[in-house]
Structure 1
Amino acid sequence: MNFNKVKFSLITFLFLTHIKTLYAEDYFYPGALDISNSVDTTFFVKNQYIPGFYDLNVYLNGKFQQKNKIKFIDKNGELKPEISKSYLLNQGVKENKKLSLISSDDVINDLNEYYKQASFSYDINKGRFDITIPQVNLNRRLDDKRDPKSWDNGINAFRLNYTLNGSHTFTHHDNSENYFLKLEPGINYAGWRLRSNFSYAEVDESVKKNIFGTHASHEIRKYHSQFSIGEVYTKDDLFENNALLGVQLFSDEEMKPDYLRQNTPLIQGVAYSNAVVIIKQNGNIIYQMNVPPGAFEINDLIVNNQAGNLEVTVKESSGKDHQFTVPFSSTVSMQHEGQWKFSLSAGKYQSQDNYHDEPVFFQGSFAYGLSRHLTLLAGTVYADKYNALASGVNVGLNNFGAFSLGVSRSSYDSENITHNKNINNLTGYSYKVGYQKTLYEFGTTFALGQYQYNGQDYYDFEESNRNDDYTSSGFNNKKKSRYELSLNQNLGGYGSINAAIYRQDYRDNSFKDINYNINYTVNVFGANISLNYNKTESQISSNAYNIGMNVQYRLGSNDNPIYTSYNINNDNEGNTSQEVTLSGSSDDNTLNYYVTNGYRNDFSHSYHRLGANYITEHGRYALNYSHEDSSDTIGYDMNGGIIINNNQVTFSQYLAETIGIVKLDNGHGTKIKNQTGVKVDNNGYAVISNIRPYNYMNIDIDTLTLPNNLEVMENRSRVMPTRGAIVQKKFDGNWGYKAIIHITYVNQKLPFGSVVRLVNTKRNRSQGIIDEFGDVYLTGLPKKGTLKVSWGGDRKDTCYVDFNIYNDDLNVLSENCHK
């Protein structure tokens, strides 16, 4: 055997067939061919590929659509595709006059005959077929949300999220511990989504357990809406959002395309010592984490209920607590012309304490896009002794920004408040105004929102439900006005400045909730410099402010950088802290680590911290240690998810609302692209947790990480799940050995283009084509077997090859073909 020829043939083959080491993005395998046993070798030599069916990835104006079997024919010696009229229309192509003259089953070989500057193009070697057509000839696609029949409700399964964190502090005199556990079980069955939450918190030997948010939901496709029953929250742009035990029907904007519809909150604060940050929404603990001294920021909080202020408590190790409020609710949006949005809720009001009555009530709201620049809103809340009506308008002012105005009128049987039977009813008004403007030429975004409650006579629904115990508790915080202001200013090469102000004033006393945050950032000679001012004030805790500066500089390469940073902070009590931190991550971002050394108050107190965070396909795990003066603290944090279906248990990272499961037999260790730490486990499963409902998402297998003896038939698949679905996609793999086989027949090489197939086996995907040197590349081969080689159109143009595999890696063989 001439090994130089084999070596050259192998190199030529690698470039001709683009195996996975060269083309991981659009991987083509010889098994994509679906052709007959006969080969017109003359045509093949001229065109490289023969007439027949090819499985190709279809792109419309460069955007991936789906994988389809495309038929190619010989037309005047050229390979031409056959695309039916109905296929084009299904892709969103407008039917013009010329196209209307043919039937839906008629085929088109040249798109330019029907549309100017339109064409079909293909690269079978890359497994790609392109349809290129001017945008004017396309219908306004519903953002890939075609027929709702394409929406995938997913599989029936049990799902569970878990979060566990805690810390142990050791001192010479005493030890302390705190724990937080949260479980989020759920069941998907026949389109229904059952969800619940359980939390267990132990801080300073005080234990609190709670079960909350238990509800079931199902989509109503006809009305682009969701139906829920159980513990839910009203969704409203005009009134305060309220917790209830009852039923709810509301518009799901995700069911609409992007152009027809309109988030996570950002929580910033300051800890003055090693502290525990506890976040509550509607009285329930939804998040808890340990933070070191200094400014902290939480920007990855997953809030199940898109309504309700977040109450943040910072429990200092010194025993001093301070609290502040972060407003959070769904934003008021402009509706597209002719589009509407609604929310209807009915049930029993759910109090989070003993200070409120729990009447049965109804709350509803409606928004309609009267024009492209005008949206009208209306709503009501009705209970036995309370009713309110509201109306509003959102106006787009083009270059002058956007303006919103809302007016509410409440009527309240106030005897239990005034204890005066001569005053049976109080009627009052509330006004809400908002403005937003972005000055692109100046890099400025400005947003203002204000709630104004008029006099003593306006009550929102929560205030109307306060009972005598609330008044006797010492609080009488009837809301008066609320301001929200944000300003983002890009200063070009001089950095950027961000300011956010929130203030809630109360009518009957001097209490107020305040949160001011101003931040300036700039890059100077590669160093990122940040200056920050933060002030908080609430009814419970006293005034607190913090001024800080952080300087961060990157060391090392872009692929695997290490950062060093210097941070200094000063608070209203005269405490000053300085610290230096070294941090970094692995090249795939699955491992993050840091080491910090700091001092407080003129170096009289020192502290040291170190920690690491590791992400795997099974979850996220973090461990940290800190030493300060005479105390040592060890902290830990872990979270992840579990899916159980068909007697299969799969451990995963933390599960988002809508998720996908990848199934790849024998694919252990294969990575999923664009998914940090996600790879196929020992059972052949991988879980993806960031899928947007009612939208197509590409799931890509990283073919560079496939096991040696596994080839995938396709490395990309698309899913379009419904809200809360668990969709499963199976990738077909061809498991077996790989070989380049030089085949001769009667001491002569076989014709270029001869088709080689594995016989007497279910591995019908093991097939290939003889190249110009008489070599063929095959995958998915058994340890031993027989190949059938065919050329020409006659039965006599067939022979057989017996082979034996001797290597787990790529085998290079030379075999004779026999009759």
Structure 2
Amino acid sequence: MQNSKFRYYNGEVFAGKLSPLVLALFCLNHPAFAADTVPPAELAKNLEFSSSFLQLDDQNAVDLSRYANGGYITPGTYSTAVYVNGMSIGTMDVTLRERKDKTVYPCMTDTLLRQIPFRYDHLPDHFFDKSGECGDLKKQLPEAVTQFDSSEMSLHIQLPQLYVSNNARGSVSPELWDSGIPAVILGYNLNGYQSTSGGYDSKSLYAGINAGLNVGAWYFRHNGSYNWDQHGKKKYDAINTYVQRDIPFLRARALAGQANTRGDVFDTLPFTGVKLATDERMLPESRRGYAPEIRGIAHTNAKVTVRQSGAVIYQTTVAPGAFLIDDLYPSGYGGDLQVTVEEADGRKQIFNVPFASVVEQLRPGATRYEIVGGNLRNDYLSNQVALYQGTIRHGFTNWLTGYGGMQLSQNYYAILGGAAVGTPVGSFSFDVTQARMHLPGTPEVTSPGQSYRLSYSETVNSTSLSVAAYRFSSSGFMDFMTAQQTVDAMQHGGDMTSVWRSRSRYSITASQALPENWGQLYISGSVQDYWNKNGSDKQYQIGYNNSYGSVSYGLSAGRTYSRTGSEDTYLLTVSLPLGRSDSSYRPQLSMQMTHDSNGRTGEQATVSGTGGEDHQLSYTATAMNSNQGGGQSGALNAQYRTPYSDLSVGWSGGKNYHSESLGASGTLVAHSGGVTMTPYTSDTFALIEAKGATGASVSGYPGVHIDRFGYALVPYLDPYQMNEIILDPKGASDDLEMTSTEKKIAPYYGAVVKVKYGTKTGTPLLVNATLNGEPVPFGADVLDEQGRSVGSVGQGGQLYARVEQEQGALRIRWGKGSSGACQIRYHLMPMAAGQKRGVQTFNSVCEPLLSRRSTDRKLLAMQDNPRDTGA
């Protein structure tokens, strides 16, 4: 079939494909082709076209006057890519209408206008009130220019810079943020584990949930976990329950319920109350929240549990060898993490990961704040403790940021002030905290003190990250939590030495790329000592990574101090791919050797890979050997991502022990159209609705397909930023036609935004149409029975359309009134049950609208030699 769309040349529109001779004659007589640099808007002014080039018997059959003032397309509704000053704002249905001078303009509906990043304070009064059902932007803003390119199905809107937001690249106006639809959300993470070691059986179950209810812009959330142990307690821990609502004009979020303070100035604290705090993700090029990486070594299939402030916030099963947890979702920005690695043979490793962030600098004029009021939430304190806290940071210049804060309670106060300074050698911050604690009823028992903190951070080309922090506290200083624990201990007969008080703490993290491909060196460590405790807490780690061709290798050494003494650990790793280099499924072989100061050594080899069309299957097989009675052992682990849930299974066994584990994770979302499931867990979703597109996939999200009800959940959206969601019809029915496949949304954090894609199902037709014995006019529009444009007539009167009904009519329009239109009636060939319809091709006479012949006999007579191409 020939291309039937209009084509633009230097701002003008040609209908379909003209012959080289006609095009040459046109170009010779058209001055526009002699001025390559003239803007298109200045080319099309009161031009005249000769219909003789179209070789029509009736030279008045096609009204060419509609092309006299620039590119023309027949009025109708089209799925269109919209651009504003060259920047894409998404694809949407755009309705075109005709003015009195026969020029066409796009309807600027309220939905379309809200997608444009206007400077709202510069728009004329009542600008949106004038849009109505089909506003003309030219009348609302005379300086505006709109151009519709039908060859690319795109609408280009040019606006003076006065009316367009000049925010930083990537920013999105709050007017475009979408709070989503009413929905019920349930994210789950299930892990069952059992082990047998030396005749001792142990079974445990972990179930973590992230539940939510969205009503308008109000989001209710509950996070908790249930822990069951065969020989221990069965307990459900409610991590937090709260309701939140964004306040866009403040770039902040209000929250009420159980939550945590942010922890960027003071240490994070759990509370029950209310909070108002800015969210940097609402700003252009914002930085996401920080969470530390957790690294460790498992000798068997081990259960890893992460706790913060005594609550379990993460649990998973890891395969033998070095592991990395970098997808942690902590409940705050501060507060050390306690990591427990429980081996299948009963051994346990327990270590802490420091979790503190260096105060960052802000841009000039930027402000961040947090206001909290309520009660401290801690199950280990006997009395209820009030907590009132306020923090603020403000950027004064490019190099100076000031920050401060205050904490108040019935028995405690703390005031903090400091500054962050940027220098050519890195960023420094220094702050001082003055605090005072007293025991109610005994005014003489007080503990005033100061704490001094110095931090340093640097990021340069050769150093990916370098952070160092030092804090010294006087003997009387207590932070908020230490003070409350001390008060509680004294009320129960203890003294001020019952709770350890920090004296000094030093931490460092650095990663340095060595010159000339010599690899990368990294170090980390922390040291902390106390006023009322002997010794200190220490841990160090140093490592080196490099590669040679496709072989990667690394060496690391670490030392950890605990109550029972210190332990040194050494690790050598080598990994290389197996199989053909052009295969995306080739497995990876990893080998490692470990040695510690207790004399234990071990070797292991692991083969891992993926399978399936979307790499939905992942697997690892590990063989191990160790001394000191460990002997030989092995482990198998597999993970399979179904369309509804992410399933995992593991087994390991060795001398006198074995273990098994089962896991599942995913999310369910209940909405007005039913319940939709996904194997992914996320806090912000897009709910795609594409009725009839079962099997279609979402580009960039492996395993996300439209289900049989016409829905799919897209996870991991960036809140307050434009997210492009592209629907790929591959995998859907051959009878499906998508009216749009690409849309953009900017969701609130925690929203479920509904994204609706128009679909058409039916049989494709290829018709050779004639009128009075001649092909129907070239370039004429083809409309369906609802009046929507479904194509144009190509050369030889050939047209293509997709129809849903077994029989009906298509309207061909090339001029004004009934004399400029005709209609084609069709009747589809019968098909056997279950047989797929291909493109049906037939010849047909186009009936003038003045002659309404509609009997079935004449209708069948018009379809000369129908045939099915089987395409």
Structures share a fold, TM > 0.5?
A: yes
Structure 2 equivalent of residue 808 of structure 1 = 836
Distance 2:189 2:783 in 1: 52
After TM superposition, list the pairs within 5 Å mapping 1:370-769 onto structure 2: 370-397=396-423, 399-413=424-438, 423-440=444-461, 442-443=462-463, 445-454=465-474, 456-466=475-485, 467-468=488-489, 476-491=499-514, 492-539=516-563, 542-555=565-578, 556=580, 557-586=582-611, 587-601=613-627, 605-646=631-672, 648-759=674-785, 764-765=787-788, 767-769=790-792
Shift of the alpha carbon at 1:78? 12
Structure 1 equivalent of residue 811 of structure 2 = 788
The TM-score normalised by the length of structure 2 is 0.79
Alpha-carbon spacing, 1:738–1:438, altered in 2? closer, same or farther (3 Å): same
Distance 2:326 2:220 in 1: 27
SS at match of 2:747: coil
Shift of the alpha carbon at 1:433? 0.9
Deviations 1:385-408 (A, max 9, x none): 2111110101122x2221111100
Does residue 358 (structure 1) correspond to residue 384 (structure 2)? The answer is yes
Alpha-carbon spacing, 1:203–1:394, altered in 2? closer, same or farther (3 Å): same
Shift of the alpha carbon at 1:616? 3.0
Structure 2 equivalent of residue 5 of structure 1 = none
Match of 1:267 among 294, 310, 314: 294
Distance 1:47 1:361 in 2: 68
Structure 2 equivalent of residue 178 of structure 1 = 204
Contact kept, 8 Å, 2:207 with 2:225, in 1: the verdict is yes
Alpha-carbon spacing, 1:765–1:501, altered in 2? closer, same or farther (3 Å): farther
Structure 2 equivalent of residue 105 of structure 1 = 141
Aligned amino acid, residue 452 of structure 1:
F
Deviations 1:428-463 (A, max 9, x none): 1101111112232x4454221122212x11111111
Structure 1, unmatched stretches of 5+, are 1-8, 18-37, 97-101, 110-119
Distance 2:139 2:754 in 1: 37
Shift of the alpha carbon at 1:775? 2.2
Distance 2:803 2:397 in 1: 60
Contact kept, 8 Å, 2:117 with 2:165, in 1: the verdict is no
Deviations 1:735-777 (A, max 9, x none): 2222322323455332221222333xx5x54722121133222
Structure 1 equivalent of residue 261 of structure 2 = 234
Does residue 57 (structure 1) correspond to residue 76 (structure 2)? The answer is no
Match of 1:250 among 257, 274, 277: 277
Match of 1:288 among 292, 315, 335: 315
Structure 2, unmatched stretches of 5+, are 8-60, 123-137, 848-871
Aligned amino acid, residue 811 of structure 1:
V
Distance 2:289 2:232 in 1: 43
Aligned amino acid, residue 212 of structure 2:
G
SS at match of 2:166: coil
Structure 2 equivalent of residue 153 of structure 1 = 179
Distance 2:242 2:289 in 1: 26
Shift of the alpha carbon at 1:39? 5.7
Deviations 1:141-199 (A, max 9, x none): 25565553322221122111111112233467343322111122221123222111231
Aligned amino acid, residue 264 of structure 2:
D
Aligned amino acid, residue 517 of structure 1:
Q
Distance 1:321 1:387 in 2: 39
SS at match of 2:719: coil
Shift of the alpha carbon at 1:800? 2.2
Alpha-carbon spacing, 1:605–1:583, altered in 2? closer, same or farther (3 Å): same
Shift of the alpha carbon at 1:671? 0.8
Contact kept, 8 Å, 2:809 with 2:823, in 1: the verdict is no
Distance 1:82 1:288 in 2: 54
Contact kept, 8 Å, 1:766 with 1:779, in 2: the verdict is no
Shift of the alpha carbon at 1:802? 1.8
Distance 2:798 2:257 in 1: 66
The TM-score normalised by the length of structure 1 is 0.84
Match of 1:344 among 347, 353, 371: 371
Aligned amino acid, residue 456 of structure 2:
Y
Alpha-carbon spacing, 1:599–1:650, altered in 2? closer, same or farther (3 Å): same
Deviates more, 1:356-365 or 1:423-432: 356-365
Distance 1:91 1:227 in 2: 26
Match of 1:369 among 395, 398, 421: 395
Contact kept, 8 Å, 1:753 with 1:770, in 2: the verdict is yes
Distance 2:573 2:639 in 1: 22
Contact kept, 8 Å, 1:404 with 1:434, in 2: the verdict is yes
SS at match of 2:730: helix
SS at match of 1:618: coil
Distance 1:164 1:732 in 2: 37
Structure 2 equivalent of residue 314 of structure 1 = 341
Deviations 1:704-763 (A, max 9, x none): 33321111111111212222211111111112222322323455332221222333xx5x
Structure 1 equivalent of residue 48 of structure 2 = none
Alpha-carbon spacing, 1:576–1:470, altered in 2? closer, same or farther (3 Å): farther
Alpha-carbon spacing, 1:591–1:511, altered in 2? closer, same or farther (3 Å): farther
Contact kept, 8 Å, 2:117 with 2:172, in 1: the verdict is no
Q: How many residues align?
A: 761
Distance 2:260 2:102 in 1: 67
Shift of the alpha carbon at 1:92? 5.6
Distance 1:512 1:201 in 2: 32
Distance 1:519 1:525 in 2: 20
Structure 1 equivalent of residue 32 of structure 2 = none
Structure 2 equivalent of residue 35 of structure 1 = none
Distance 1:175 1:814 in 2: 75
SS at match of 2:796: coil
Distance 1:62 1:602 in 2: 69
SS at match of 2:482: helix
Contact kept, 8 Å, 1:436 with 1:445, in 2: the verdict is yes
Aligned amino acid, residue 446 of structure 2:
N
Contact kept, 8 Å, 1:262 with 1:335, in 2: the verdict is no
Structure 2 equivalent of residue 66 of structure 1 = 90
Distance 2:805 2:121 in 1: 50
Aligned amino acid, residue 268 of structure 1:
R
Shift of the alpha carbon at 1:672? 0.9
Shift of the alpha carbon at 1:815? 2.4
Does residue 777 (structure 1) correspond to residue 813 (structure 2)? The answer is no
Distance 1:720 1:449 in 2: 37
Contact kept, 8 Å, 2:567 with 2:597, in 1: the verdict is yes
Match of 1:305 among 313, 332, 352: 332
Alpha-carbon spacing, 1:122–1:516, altered in 2? closer, same or farther (3 Å): farther
Distance 2:117 2:315 in 1: 48
Distance 2:300 2:115 in 1: 64
Shift of the alpha carbon at 1:104? 4.7
Aligned amino acid, residue 839 of structure 2:
N
SS at match of 1:706: coil
Contact kept, 8 Å, 1:710 with 1:780, in 2: the verdict is no
Contact kept, 8 Å, 1:406 with 1:432, in 2: the verdict is yes
